[in-house]
Structure 1
């Protein structure tokens, strides 16, 4: 494994890496919300179902990231 790959792997498991993952997941939530709004306006049930499934995946991803932050022992104010 190259040095760059090791750094990337370690970053992914760091607190900073988890925060970056949280931010990108939140950005994805904005996209899903826009998709749901367009689907409701167009009365497109299939796209509405797709956005609901995507939203469920985002919620699950955020829960996993939250668990990872707790595992890392972060005492951030946001985590209560």
Structure 2
């Protein structure tokens, strides 16, 4: 069980998190397209806010990945 807890902080776990977060972007793009087609402003705003959350999440994960890379250099 302790290996599973450490996986989230590993490079592989971070890459997996980036992938799943980016996969969520597909849903947001579909939502935005539908909202624009239907002229639904509220759904479009929701899609924009969701996209901003995805961008922020990926940026945080990339920062974590960089930090993990820096730690590896210091250990090696």
Same fold (TM over 0.5): yes
1:71 maps to 67
Q: Which residue is 2:58 aligned to?
A: 62
CA distance in 1, matches of 2:53, 2:14: 17
More helix by share: 2
Give the whole-Å Cα distance in 1 for the aligned partners of 2:38 and 2:20: 27
Q: Which runs of 5+ in 1 are unaligned?
A: 75-80
Q: How many aligned residue pairs are there?
A: 70
Structure 1 residues 1-80: aligned runs within 5 Å: 4=1, 6-73=2-69
Q: CA deviation at 1:7?
A: 2.0
Could you give the per-residue CA deviations for residues 43-75 of structure 1, whole angstroms, max 9, x where no partner exists? 00000000000000000000000000100017x
Partner-residue secondary structure (3-state), 2:3: helix
| CA-based RMSD | 1.0
